[in-house]
A and B are shown apart, each in its own frame.
Chain A
Amino acid sequence: MKEQCAYVSNIQRFCVHDGPGIRTVVFLQGCPLTCKWCQNPEALDKNPQLMMSDGLCMGCSACINVCTKSAISVQGNKLLTNRELCDLCFACTKECYWGARKVSSKSYTVTELYEDVMKDKEFFVQSGGGITISGGEPTMHPEFCATLLQKCEGVSRAIETCGYTHWQAFEMLLPVTDLFLYDLKMYDEEKHRQWTGVNNKIIKDNLKKLIDCNKEVIIRIPLIPAVNDTREEFGRMLQFINSLRRIREVHVLPFHQLGISKYNQINKEYEMPNWQEENSNRIKQISKQLKDSGFRVSVGGIGFKTGKESKERPIE
């Protein structure tokens, strides 16, 4: 049987914001949500995307020569790519030595990915760290992730998820995952649909079920000014979190617009370029509210749990 594959958009070593210890984060391609503030828009589609950085292009025109669809043309001193004509064969990326043209992700078998991730095994074992699968959305590839995490037994295994998936996906991941980093974006269902493209009922339901399974869950809130940091919306989110049992830690992830360059690279419109970025006062207030409710709160997500704890007290 052919081994399972998945498109991986990035393997980032020595990550510190995605679980305890020293970790490697695997970013998978494809996400069921379309959050307007998304930082990794190239990973939304389930298929690899062509990414172009004009700043790196030296105008050597090598890409033009290999494009069988004549999708690339010279316009002044810039190269233009007609995305309607492009059939995503990626031949041009192989000719672009400057890295101005890139594929957003590469296909990996479980074994290949496992070997790459485990290059830092020494650091995982020493620090109580391990692997975090992020995305995109890992639960879109439940079997792939479950097989990979199964192989990674012995180091800490985390899943960073938006929660929008069939419960069966979680059922597959539960036995092989030590920690879930669970995104909670909004309580209001209609607003959630408006900003992320989907209804959040299933997200909330899955979260409750996951907690009932006695799994360690950290809730992560991307705090978007005037979207979910309002008194009303955040109040409801807080009420919801308070109603959940066994949540001990909440991460507040401040909004930023650094992802805008990636939108440009895939010729996609970024809807929030002029959105107010600064909300540090509000972050402080919200952190305090969360702390007052008894949660450990981290802004930015570096976390509190040390590798030592995760080594000494395995998740019950």
Chain B
Amino acid sequence: MKLTKRMKKLKDRLFEVEYNDPGTWHFKEVNILEEHPELTEEPLVVRKAYAQYYIGKNLPVTIKEDELIVGNPNQNSVAWGTVMPLYFTKEEGEHAETYELNESSIWGHHPPQYDKVIKKGITGIIAEINAEIVSEMRCAKPNPKKLNEWRAMIIALDGVVEFARRYAQEALKLSLCCKDIVRKRELFEIYNTCRHVPQNPAHNFNEALQSFWFIYCMVNSAGEYVPFGRADQYFYPYYKKDMDRKAISKEHGADLMASFLVKCNERIIMDTKKAENHATFGMFSQGRIPELTEKKAQTGGYEQRQWTWKENEDINSDSNYNYGQSGNDWLMNCIVAGVNENGNDATNEVSYLFVDLMASMRLLMPTLAARVHKDSPESFLELLANTLRYGQGEPMIYNDDAIIPGFVHMGVPLEDARNYSNDGCWECLVAGKSHFSYAHIMNLQLIEFILFQGKSLKSGNKEAPDTGAPHIFKDYNAFYAAYLKQMKKAIDFQCERRIKNFGLSHMIAPDPLFSSIVDNCIEKGRDISQDGAKYIFHMLIITGLSNTVDSLAVIKKLVFEDKVVSMEELIQAVKDDWKGHERLCARVMNLVPKFGNDDDYVDAIAMTLMEDFEDMVDDWNRKQEKLLFCSGIGTFENYAVLGRDTWATPDGRGAGEALAPNFSPTAGMDISGPTSVIKSVTKPNLLRYFSGCPVDISVNSNEFEGGAGVERMVNLIKSFCNLDGQIMTITSTNVADLRDAQVNPHLHRDLRVRMGGLSAYFIAMAPAQQENIIKRFSR
């Protein structure tokens, strides 16, 4: 799309001003109990609501030049510290800490029901809450917990209204003294909009965007990292209405959309040294029963947060490694197009605007995904193809025809299944109705546990069961049986733990604001951090699948079938981190089939492993009813740091080397091109992996030139879908550009890359990450 004058100005401001100084954070010194001692008597959830109200009342109000959509959230990326005012007592804090929880133990990830706010307005939602209160009060014994949750919701929602009201005032003030007659009118329009939404239902496209943005700002500012869900679906009815009655021009519609998208990017941090290493799992504690506490880094473990670049350490030190991934509004994902709840194509003009504007303006956020299906319009697929072939790596492709049946198989009603969206990373859930969490199963390390009888080579500690002396396995089946034992133990551990700790975080980190806009929290009078949401998903994730499968192939082929390497020899090599075993390492790397090359020998190992995994996870759905346990494959953007904590492995991988990202083949090992990768990842039945197993495909941009190139990309996407593939990213670039960007970062400020859930400006990635990306393209 050709950028309008306004778009150019907005983009310039973003790249020239905002990216250099995205602003500071607020409120970490504020304690609302000191400001309002009378609140001490209130239950914690109500105090939290007052803290949220406080944010709405005190966030700075700034209206920037040329913008049509206004408002900025707190700088609430993981990079930026505690954003909430304190609302709990010292004792409450200390008590929570014994459960490895604190006020930051908010899970985020899942989108709220933005469309409900747009449609009903906050007034409408409060009316709904009041109705529940009235009906509860009629009971013989009204439930005080429910009543307090509802009270808290109302207070927190008032904070959103207050936030908007302050913007309205600012816009009016600016409008009154503005000399430029055009801008004066625009500011007055902003005043009218902010005066009206999100308190009331939106009337037009402008109001729908603004209403959405205010609610996002407030939810995000209180520590909840939330994605956008199906934003194009929420906006389109208003866009269409404006177009039908010719209330705005197409150009103005695009300008509004562009202004909205620019707001999403104003908090990006380009300087890797300013970003925090979030891979320590510090924030996302799911809590632990004190008696069960093991000091072991797990997802959801609570550890001291590490932040800021340490100048006196090299780029590979513990604190400096893996930086540069969190320099944005974390988890701000958005998914467009796809079918509606009736199963009909719902790709609309706003879907096109999202894709086109993100690419034309070279924007990073929201991280964009597109749903496709067998009836997707050809022109939409062409737009995706055209965007993807220029190396954007986005949008990520989601195949409705493969994902929706998975939800249904899980027991989710078809209408809800068709309304799925992605969460903050890439996992699929039902937008506005879900609580989503996950845990990694360290599949690769399980092999280490067999080879070293339960011991971790990295820590030296016994961390898993002893499945017997490894050299006595008589064949591969016996070895694999031990593997299944290790895997079952790991899955059971995580599932049991999640059942026990679910709801714990409510003691310190409830979120009444977020809860007020998630089905069925109002109806139940329960918080999202309890069991308020309609669906509670917990995904168990195969971590390092490709390395695991390649390792198993090495053991199967070289040790048991060809009998050319003894188990002892292999164990010694792994233990020695392959040092002194270079010839064996070369044999392992180059002469054993590798996942991702459409080689049935090794792909069959993946198929079996995945089936066994999903069976074990599925068992837990028969054992209890509260949580929906589902299977996925992933590393997120943490494949480097996950690898850093893993010792050498039988696939020839050295100690500390990155894992293969998500469902992708190991970097440098997929030597047969993109079609082979697609074939390998679609051989297993992915039905029960509906909540996510993304594969990253890298292609050379010069293979997609001209009209034939667009068509080729469309066909690559269609073939992936025909083969029942699920989620795919296609990144096209060339190595020369990436190399040049390392040397001349200033010339490549807008070079973006994408791997699974990670989307980042290349120059803002850690050198180690950059090398990993380059390796993928250097075939």
Contacts and interface: CB of A to CB of B under 8 A. Distances in A.
B712 A13 contact: no
A122 B675 CA distance: 9
Given A22-B675, A97-B591, A302-B706, A127 B712 contact: yes
A304 B675 contact: no
A248 interface: no
B674 interface: yes
Contacts of B709: 16, 302
Contact of A123 (B582, B672, B704, B719): B719
B676 A302 contact: no
A13 B672 contact: yes
A21 B587 CA distance: 36
A143 interface: no
Nearest to A119: B598
Contact of A98 (B586, B674, B675, B715): B586
A269 B493 CA distance: 64
B428 to A, nearest CB: 24
A14 B677 CA distance: 11
B401 to A, nearest CB: 14
B611 to A, nearest CB: 22
A154 interface: no
A195 B706 CA distance: 33
B675 A127 contact: no
A62 B591 CA distance: 15
B-side interface size class: 20 to 34
Interface-central residue, A14, A60, A98, A307, by most chain B CB under 10 Å? A14
A307 B715 contact: yes
B583 A123 contact: no
Contact of A127 (B591, B673, B719): B719
Interface string A295-316: 0000000111111100000000
Given A58-B586, A127-B719, A304-B707, 9 more contacts: A14-B674, A22-B715, A97-B591, A119-B676, A123-B716, A123-B719, A126-B718, A302-B708, A307-B712
Contact of B711 (A58, A97, A122, A308): A308
A197 interface: no
Contacts of B719: 22, 122-123, 126-127
B703 A99 contact: no
B506 interface: no
Contacts of A58: 582-583, 586
Contact of B715 (A12, A60, A123, A302): A123
B706 A122 contact: no
B685 interface: no
Interface string B223-236: 00000000000000
B716 to A, nearest CB: 7
A222 interface: no
Contacts of A123: 675, 715-716, 719
Contacts of A122: 679, 719, 722-723
Contacts of B705: 302
B583 A60 contact: yes
Interface in A12-36: 12-14, 16, 20-22
Contacts of A302: 703, 705-706, 708-709
A127 B715 contact: yes
A127 B707 CA distance: 13
A120 interface: yes
B673 A303 contact: no
A233 B583 CA distance: 53
Contacts of B344: none
Nearest to B588: A97
B675 A120 contact: yes
Contacts of A126: 715, 718-719, 722
24 contacts: A13-B673, A13-B675, A14-B675, A14-B676, A22-B675, A22-B715, A22-B716, A58-B586, A60-B583, A97-B586, A97-B590, A122-B723, A126-B715, A126-B718, A126-B719, A126-B722, A127-B711, A127-B712, A127-B715, A127-B716, A127-B719, A306-B708, A306-B711, A307-B708
A56 B704 CA distance: 31
A14 B671 CA distance: 12
A20 B722 contact: no
Contacts of B718: 126
B31 to A, nearest CB: 60
Interface string B696-726: 0000000111111101100110110011000
Contacts of A305: 708
Nearest to A116: B598
A97 B583 contact: yes
B718 to A, nearest CB: 5
B424 to A, nearest CB: 32
A16 B703 contact: yes
Given A97-B590, A98-B586, A126-B719, A119 B706 contact: no
B720 to A, nearest CB: 9
B712 A21 contact: yes
Contacts of A119: 598, 675-676, 679
Contacts of A20: 708
- A interface, size bucket: 20 to 34
Contacts of A60: 582-583
A302 B598 CA distance: 25
B708 A303 contact: yes
Contacts of A16: 703-704, 708-709, 712
Interface in A139-171: none
Interface in B709-752: 709, 711-712, 715-716, 718-719, 722-723
Contacts of B704: 16
Contacts of B583: 58, 60, 62, 97
A225 B152 CA distance: 79
A306 B707 contact: yes
Contacts of B672: 13
Interface in A270-316: 302-308
A97 B584 CA distance: 8
Given A99-B590, A302-B705, A307-B711, A14 B673 contact: yes
A196 B719 CA distance: 41
A97 B582 CA distance: 10
Q: Considering the complex of A and B, which 3 residue pairs feature the smallest CB-CB distances, nearest first?
A: A127-B715, A97-B586, A14-B673
A20 B582 CA distance: 44
B779 to A, nearest CB: 11
Contacts of A14: 673-676, 703
Nearest to B676: A13
B386 to A, nearest CB: 14
Contacts of A99: 590
Interface in A57-100: 58, 60, 62, 97-99
A308 B722 CA distance: 17
Nearest to A94: B591
A45 B309 CA distance: 59
Contacts of B679: 119-120, 122
A298 to B, nearest CB: 8
A254 B591 CA distance: 36
Contacts of A22: 675, 712, 715-716, 719
A96 B235 CA distance: 61
Interface in B578-607: 582-583, 586-587, 590-591, 598
Nearest to A303: B708
Interface string B298-335: 00000000000000000000000000000000000000
Contacts of A307: 708, 711-712, 715
A94 to B, nearest CB: 9
Contacts of B582: 58, 60
Interface string B62-81: 00000000000000000000
Interface string A108-149: 000000000001101100110000000000000000000000
Contacts of A120: 675, 679
A305 B706 CA distance: 11
Q: Which of B583, B719, B722 has the most CB of A within 10 A?
A: B719
A127 B715 CA distance: 5
B598 A98 contact: no
